[in-house]
Amino acid sequence: MADLPLSRALVGSWRLLSREDRTASGERRIDPALGEDPHALLVYDRGGNFAAQFMKRVRTPEEPGMSRPAAVNNSRAVNGYDAYFGTYTVNDSTATVTQTLVGALSPENVGLVVTRSMHVVGDELVIQLQTTSAGGTPVVRTLRWQRVA
């Protein structure tokens, strides 16, 4: 699918392979809300709709950071879980996807508009965005996804 434009290659269901946050110096930061290796599913349909769900692999009844505000350019997990859905548009020339959150687990995320750099090579989707760590340090988040057959 490397020859397809992003708008066509993106359509489908994706399972998370890895999620890493790195500072400008390359130091890895682990998001305490979802942990270093969350379960996640991401779906983009042909009609311009998407849905995303993330879950910390080991959840406890009261996760730390439940009341912490969302990071810059990102949604907020609640008790080790984050979910949102909405609409998306693709700019093939810049390889970016703009998502508008119509619904979200965290009420403050409803209506949020975010733009992500994305590329698909074969059956792997890579998403990158600038956000902040739990402590407020700027980080680049890289998410690697595998297409679900």
CB 137 within 8 A of CB 25: no
pLDDT tens track, the chain, 149 positions? 447 999 999 999 999 999 999 999 999 999 888 999 999 999 999 999 999 999 999 877 664 554 455 566 556 676 788 999 999 999 999 999 999 999 999 899 999 999 999 999 999 999 999 999 888 999 999 999 999 98
Domain 6-147: assigned CATH number: 2.40.128.280
pTM (two decimals): 0.85
Strands, E assignment, 79-135: 81-91, 96-104, 113-121, 124-132
CA distances from 111 to 21, 78, 82, 102, 124 (A): 25, 18, 15, 6, 28
